[in-house]
Amino acid sequence: MVELAIVMPLLLMLVFGIIEFGRGYNAQLAVTHAAREGVREYAITQDAGAGRAAVLNAASTLDSGSVGIALSACNYGDPATVTVTYPFQVSIPFFSSSPIVLSGEGVMRCGG
């Protein structure tokens, strides 16, 4: 019983760490996917509103109020860039942490 009482908190922390790493990795994939979808729409239509809507649509698993979107200018033949940021909060019991800012960037030449 004593050994279990000593080892159990460490094993639980390991399990919670694995779960949070998976959540963070999933959020990073969603951010990267949203940036790629947003820049594709923005480069083809050259409409910033459509690019932002594509980002928010692709990042539907994330809190849309926390998603930051930055678009560069889209001149025909030049590369357009869409950068998406998202603050990810790690939630492991008995530990407090500040949010980790995840970011993804998509680049595509304007005009298709």
Residue ranges per structural domain of the chain: 2-109
pLDDT score, position 86: 96
pLDDT along the chain (112 residues), means of 10: 89 92 96 96 93 94 93 92 95 82 96 72
The H or E element containing residue 102 is: strand 100-109
Q: Which two tokens stand for residue 59?
A: 């990042």
